[in-house]
Amino acid sequence: MDQFKNVIDSHNHSKQILTLLYEYDSFMDSIRTVADMGCGSGMDIKWWAELTTRDDPPEPHEYKCFAVDTNIKQIEPEILETPNITPIQANFEDGRVIPVNIDLMWSHNSFQYALNPLNTLKNWNQMMNTNGMLVLSLPQHQTYQYNRIHTRSISGCYYHYNVCNLMYMLAVNGFDCRDCYVWMDTNNAWMHFAVYKSADPLEPASTSWFDLADLNLINDSAITSLNNYGYVRQEDLMFTWLDKDWRFAKN
């Protein structure tokens, strides 16, 4: 909760994405299982568990929901009593902590605490159905504002992420970063990825950006940057977000 004043503030931040996803009726209808990895108070998974269609009258989606956290005691009691929510006390970095494959994996303000992020993404891939979506939101701890570099270090966060290295890590672990959605506003430290599982994880130690380009796991702007410089520059990247507006990923 270091990023937010309280759990309501955190959930309100989540709803910026949740309300956009809600507009995709056919996608929402295709989902059967949802997991919140590092669920905290459980307000986000409660949103999924209680979701209804946009029909008139609305019908409950009745997703089978899993709330994964190392401390499920922090989940509100009334949320724990929701029939279609299964709490799982576990470290989300570990192997198969969920008993079924997942269609939508949600990680808001949690992935930055992973001690082994590459292995975590590998495990998440292996718990998801092919073409399932991972929605990942996490803060950058270094930003450039008012002509100065601002760096902050939060307890438990041992890695600094940017759009380039996070895209690399996701693609190496079988998440499609070609047909994906990315949002990072210039004056906002948060990064948001919505990516589909399209392949099995690759070997990180031996997989290059060029390998990912050959496998069509990164988008054209990344490939162009790679071909021009031999590496990927964040200032060259361009993505769409869920609202279909173009987003430029810049420092």
Question: For the segment 64-80, what is each residue's pLDDT rounded down to a tens digit?
Answer: 999 999 999 999 899 99
246 or 173: which leads in pLDDT: 173
Identify the residue with better confidence: 207 or 186. Answer: 207
Tokens of 217: 């796991």
CA pair distance 74, 81, nearest whole angstrom:
13
Fold classification of 7-242 is Rossmann fold (3.40.50)
* Partners of 150 in the β-ladder: 143
> pLDDT-based confidence at 248, cuts 50/70/90?
low
Question: Using CA atoms, how far apart are residues 251 and 143, in angstroms rounded to an integer?
Answer: 7
**30, amino acid identity:** S
Of the given ranges (1-10, 31-40, 217-226), which has the lowest mean pLDDT?
Answer: 1-10
Nearest C-alpha neighbor of 62 from the set 86, 84, 38, 95: 84
Pairing of strands 102-108, 33-37: parallel
Q: State the pLDDT at residue 93.
A: 97
**Mean pLDDT score of the chain:** 92
Share of the chain above pLDDT 90, in %: 83
User: CB neighbours (10 Å) of residue 61?
Assistant: 18
CB atoms near residue 60 (< 10 Å): 11
* Residues found in the chain: 251
Would you place residue 184 in the very low, low, confident or very high pLDDT band (cuts 50, 70, 90)?
confident
Judged against a pLDDT cut of 90, whether residue 186 lies above it is answered with no
Residue 1: pLDDT above 50? no
Q: According to the model, what pLDDT value does residue 144 have?
A: 63
Tell me how far the alpha carbon of residue 146 is from its chain's centroid.
Answer: 29
pLDDT per position as a tens digit, 86-129: 999 999 999 999 999 999 999 999 999 999 999 999 999 999 99
Confidence of residue 172 (pLDDT cuts 50, 70, 90): very high
Question: Could you count the other beta carbons within 10 Å of the beta carbon of residue 102?
Answer: 24
From residue 233, how far is each of 4, 123, 212, 224 by CA, in Å?
30, 28, 15, 10
**Residue 54 reports pLDDT greater than 80:** yes
Give CA–CA dist 40/47, Å, rounded: 13
Is the pLDDT score of 251 beyond 60?
Answer: no
Examine the pLDDT at 187 and tell me if it is beyond 70: no
103: exposed, middle or buried (Cβ count in 10 Å: 0-12, 13-18, 19+): buried
Residue 250 in this model has a pLDDT that exceeds 60: no
Helices (H), ranges, the chain: 7-21, 25-30, 43-49, 77-80, 117-126, 163-172, 209-214, 220-229
